[in-house]
Structure 1
Amino acid sequence: MNADHADPTDPADRTLSDRVRAAVDTVDAPDVVFAYSRHGRRTITTGGTGTAPETPRAELRYEIGSASKTLTMLLLADLAARRHVRLTDPADAWLFPPPATSLGVPSGTRRARRVQSSRPPHPGPVTLLHLATHTAGLPRLPRDFYRQAVPRWRSNPYAGYSRDRLLAAYARTRPRHAPGRRWRYSNFGAALLGPVLGAATGTPYARLLPHRLFGPLGMTSAGVLPLGPGTDAVGHARDGVTAVPPFDTGEGFLPAGAVRATPADLLSYLEAHLRPHAGPHADRLRTALLAVQRPLLDRGIRHRHTHTLAWVRHPSPYGPLYFHSGATTGQEAFLAFQPDTGRALVALATRRYSARTTLTQAAYGLLTELP
């Protein structure tokens, strides 16, 4: 176990460490990390069924998959707070603006006219809020995605899917229902926010994250590309033995799942949500950190699932619990925080998500059962 700020002589801290250790031991994966924080006091516990890597597990960067969307939505909230965009802006206004389309082709050219004229009529404008909350009526993935993805489904199905291809697919897609009427999880919709935010700032999405989020949040090792051998955790297939290559979202899907970060980076990220008014991030991100915690819609049986701009919110005996999970072809992540108790938890594993996984169950249980 690696501990930061925890006091091994304190009975309460020892009990907590034992509970976290027990949770780690239930996860059947080569590498497992649980990073827990309460009011800034951290306990980072590592384990796994595989041989410990040369670089300590707590210091590796992990792929967080769809949990990357929470950073994309925080970035959206920040740009909205600074009036670069409005959540009610039609997505088309940013993705296909005159006199040039975001494909980089002047609107008067034959190619641009063909793209725009082939676009089916929408039943209503798709807004940035619809894209962020999975209510745009878009499918999970573009129709043309599967043809190129199937041959490498178990390695890197997203690799090679470009930004231009994403926009062309959106230009051909008609929402399946009126935007705002129904929740339907969509990597497609979340990915479209990358070109939107890039157009609003004149800066590509991959450069926006380090400048506007990683720096202010103190995420010193986070990134969207591998940094080289010995830095990133190695993912594994479902057998828990076979190593898989680093996950590649392709340029088109960066906003939906490209972030890699250390456990300490991710704790800093969650702790900022717990204390939006304090710390080096406060002046820069306070408004956005509060905005992404506001409830926006309910769904599910008895409306159990409450969604904010970035998070899923569940009730618990100790106050609302905000969380988001994510998975790549070789790794899994679960991020959660509980404002009423000042607690945050990062759970990471180097194994592909499956219906039998225990990572999310163990992590969720810690925050809902611990007093």
Structure 2
Amino acid sequence: SGAEPAAALLGGHPSRDGTPATLAHLITHTAGLPALPPGFLARALPAWHSNPYGRYPGDRVVAAFLRHRPRHRPGTRWRYSNFGVAVLGHALAAATGTGWQDLTERLLLDPLDLRGTTVRTDADGRDATGHRKDGEELPPFDPGGFQAAGAVRATPHDLLTFLEAHLDPARAPDLAGALDAVRTPVLRRGLGHRHVHTVAWFRHPTDGGPLYFHSGATLGQQAFLGFRPDTGTALAAVCTRRYRAHDPFGATAYALLADS
């Protein structure tokens, strides 16, 4: 369940202060964790411009979580954390006795028949070549111990198939309950609670109803996924170059969906 202390699943002590970080805290980015583990920078620095995550394997992710003392009591503050989502993946694998790759395939990819999608990092030919802003090519992304935070290789067709299932859960009856659940607001923050989150999506209001979206990036690639139930519109945008300052990619993709 979401109330299960993550540390207990990973062989540690649930809490040293009486407030354990639970699976629900990890998925809602309220576990009191930083964006990346303490010490990540020093270990990743030699590969900082090529593949920094690959130098931080799963055992280090888990060890860093088990020894970390949150700055804020879990459940009290929101902070987006790739570290927390990575820990969630390891905790779910421990709870089910199933590796993250197999778990994702069995519970998500197979039911939606996403044959062009994989979370395996050794899949030949599945990576489009990423580029820096200056056009320099980069090697395939290695997520190291952060698989749950972003290791999916997918074709554009599969990305749209995934979004179509969110628009019409009846198309995937085995996942209808989960697809409905991930639309449900679980966290509101900011002035007037204007920032709304589900367990998987950022949720923004429009004149016709909510818009759901999420974006992500590696050193050389970017992606944006979103959908609008009110207009029946889904958008999958991918880019094999990483823009940082005044990023036109994310803003353009969001505007296309918002105006659809």
TM-score band, normalised by the shorter chain? Answer: over 0.9
Aligned match of 2:10: 95
Aligned match of 1:201: 96
- Quote the Cα distance in structure 1 between the aligned partners of 2:108 and 2:229: 20
The structure, 1 or 2, with the larger RCO (C-alpha pairs under 8 Å, 6+ apart) is: 1
- Quote the Cα distance in structure 2 between the aligned partners of 1:155 and 1:303: 38
Q: Are 2:36 and 1:147 aligned?
A: no
Aligned match of 1:242: 136
Aligned match of 2:147: 254
1:193 deviation in Å? 1.2
Partners of 1:123 and 1:179 within 8 A in 2: no
> Given the two structures, how large is their TM-score scaled by the length of structure 2?
0.95
CA deviation string 1:305-351 (max 9, x = no partner)? 20001100000123100000000011000000111111110010001
**After superposition, where does 1:141-290 map in structure 2 within 5 Å?**
141-224=36-119, 225-229=121-125, 231-239=126-134, 241-250=135-144, 252-276=145-169, 278-279=170-171, 281-282=172-173, 284-290=174-180
- Quote the Cα distance in structure 2 between the aligned partners of 1:120 and 1:208: 27
Q: Gapped runs of 5+ residues in structure 2? A: none
**After superposition, where does 1:1-371 map in structure 2 within 5 Å?**
86-96=1-11, 121-122=16-17, 124-224=19-119, 225-229=121-125, 231-239=126-134, 241-250=135-144, 252-276=145-169, 278-279=170-171, 281-282=172-173, 284-370=174-260
- Quote the Cα distance in structure 2 between the aligned partners of 1:226 and 1:233: 13
- Quote the Cα distance in structure 1 between the aligned partners of 2:81 and 2:7: 17
Q: Gapped runs of 5+ residues in structure 1? A: 1-85, 102-115
- Quote the Cα distance in structure 1 between the aligned partners of 2:158 and 2:84: 26
Aligned match of 1:6: none
Percent of aligned pairs sharing the same letter = 54
Task: Name the SS for the 2:118 alignment partner.
Answer: coil
Partners of 1:122 and 1:174 within 8 A in 2: no
Task: Name the SS for the 2:137 alignment partner.
Answer: coil
Aligned match of 1:50: none
Aligned length: 259
CA deviation string 1:31-71 (max 9, x = no partner)? xxxxxxxxxxxxxxxxxxxxxxxxxxxxxxxxxxxxxxxxx
Partners of 2:7 and 2:66 within 8 A in 1: no
Task: Report the AA paired with residue 265 of structure 1.
Answer: D
Task: Report the AA paired with residue 5 of structure 2.
Answer: P
Instruction: Spell out structure 1 runs of 4+ moving beyond 6 A.
Output: none
Task: Name the SS for the 1:294 alignment partner.
Answer: coil
Task: Report the AA paired with residue 249 of structure 2.
Answer: L
CA deviation string 1:175-211 (max 9, x = no partner)? 1111111001111111111121112221100111112
Task: Report the AA paired with residue 254 of structure 2.
Answer: Y
Partners of 2:44 and 2:56 within 8 A in 1: no
Aligned match of 1:71: none
Task: Name the SS for the 2:131 alignment partner.
Answer: coil
> Given the two structures, how large is their TM-score scaled by the length of structure 1?
0.67
